[in-house]
Amino acid sequence: MTPIVTAVKNSAPAVVNIQGQKSVTDPLAVGRTTPASREVNGMGTGVVIDARGYILTNHHVVDGVRQINVTLDGGQAYVAQLVAHDRETDLAVIRIKTPQPLPTIHMGTSQDLMTGETVIALGNAYGYEHTVTSGIISALHRNVQVNETQQYLDLIQTDASINPGNSGGPLMNLDGDMIGLNVAVRAGAQGIGFAIPVDKALEVATKMLKVEKLESYWHGITPLAIDGPTGAVTVARVERDSPAELGGLQRGDELEQIGTTAIDRPLDVERSLLGRRPGERVPVLVQRNGEQVTLDLVIAAKSGRTRTDVVEVADSQLTTFQQATWTAFGLTMEPVSASVLRDRGLPLDGGMRVLSVKPGSSAASQGVVKGDILVQIHRWYTTSEEDVQFILNRADAVAKLGTVRFDIVRGGERFFGQLALGVDGDTTRR
Establish whether 337 is a catalytic residue: no
Establish whether 303 is a catalytic residue: no
369 phi and psi, to 5 degrees?
Answer: -135, 165
Neighbouring residues of 347: CB distance < 8 A, sequence distance ≥ 6: 341
> Which one is catalytic: 161, 167, 361, 365?
167
Establish whether 365 is a catalytic residue: no
Neighbouring residues of 393: CB distance < 8 A, sequence distance ≥ 6: none
Q: How many residues does the chain have?
A: 430
Among positive and negative, which fits the CA dihedral 208, 211, 216, 222? positive
Among positive and negative, which fits the CA dihedral 62, 362, 152, 203? negative
For residue 138, the one-letter residue type is S
> Which one is catalytic: 59, 60, 85, 219?
60
Q: Which residues pair with 235 in a beta bridge?
A: 223
Q: In this structure, are residues 109 and 179 in contact, taking their beta carbons and an 8 Å threshold?
A: yes
Q: Which residues pair with 75 in a beta bridge?
A: none
Q: In this structure, are residues 142 and 154 in contact, taking their beta carbons and an 8 Å threshold?
A: yes
Q: In this structure, are residues 16 and 55 in contact, taking their beta carbons and an 8 Å threshold?
A: yes
Q: In this structure, are residues 386 and 321 in contact, taking their beta carbons and an 8 Å threshold?
A: no
Residue 278 burial (C-beta neighbours within 10 Å; 0-12, 13-18, 19+): middle
Q: Buried b vs exposed e over 72-105: b needs ≥16 C-beta within 10 Å?
A: bbeeeebebeebbbbbbbbbbbbbbeeeeebbbb
CA pair distance 104, 117, nearest whole angstrom = 24
Report the candidate in 348, 370, 368, 381 with the shortest Cα–Cα distance to residue 419. Answer: 368
Strand pairing report for 221-225 and 380-381:
unpaired
Q: Alpha-carbon Rg of the chain, whole angstroms?
A: 22
> Which one is catalytic: 50, 86, 90, 407?
90
CA pair distance 378, 404, nearest whole angstrom = 5
CA pair distance 11, 212, nearest whole angstrom = 27
Neighbouring residues of 352: CB distance < 8 A, sequence distance ≥ 6: 333, 334, 335, 336, 373, 374, 375, 382, 383, 384, 385, 388
| Residues involved in catalysis | 60, 90, 167
